[in-house]
Structure 1
Amino acid sequence: MNDSFFKKIESKTGVPMEEVFALANAIQYADFSDERQVRKIVKKVGRLANKDVPPHMEDELVRSIVNNGNSVNINDIQRMMG
């Protein structure tokens, strides 16, 4: 992919591509049965999406992901965050 493609994404989302790549890397290698790792990912997604994740919502998301244990669906997280 070329640099202008990433610049367009950054300008539309306001999120630096380095942060998107860091999140993708964290998700790719995460142990979704580890509550601490999952909580960090949920917080990072909230920050990148510029969404406040109330503690009860964070707990619900973490519990749901840890119970599933093997994958995370960003669309599900976005839907739960409203």
Structure 2
Amino acid sequence: MSESFFDKIESKTGVSMNEIFALANAIQHADFTDENEVRKIVKKVGKLAKRDVSKQLEDDIVNSIIKKGHSLDVSQIQSMINRGK
């Protein structure tokens, strides 16, 4: 992919590609049965999405992910955050 492609993504989202790649890497290698690890990912997605995630919403998302115990993608977590607004 070209550099200009990444520049466009960064300018539209306000999120650096390094942050996006770091999040993708964390999700790819995450243990979705580890509550602390899942909380870190949820907080990171909320931060990158520029959404305040209440403690109650964070708990709900984390519990939902841990119950499933398998990998998720960023869009699923972001969708959960957006529903909780």
Tell me the TM-score range normalised by the shorter chain: over 0.9
Give TM-score scaled by structure 1 length: 0.94
Give TM-score scaled by structure 2 length: 0.91
Runs (4+) off by over 2 Å: 73-76
How far apart, in 2, do the equivalents of 1:18 and 1:55 lie?
Answer: 27
Post-superposition offset of 1:79: 2.1
Post-superposition offset of 1:52: 0.2
How far apart, in 2, do the equivalents of 1:75 and 1:2 lie?
Answer: 23
How far apart, in 1, do the equivalents of 2:65 and 2:7 lie?
Answer: 32
Structure 1 stretches of 5 or more lacking a match?
Answer: none
Structure 2 stretches of 5 or more lacking a match?
Answer: none
Post-superposition offset of 1:77: 1.8
Identity of aligned residues (%): 61
Q: How many residues align?
A: 82
2:23 maps to: 23
RMSD: 0.9
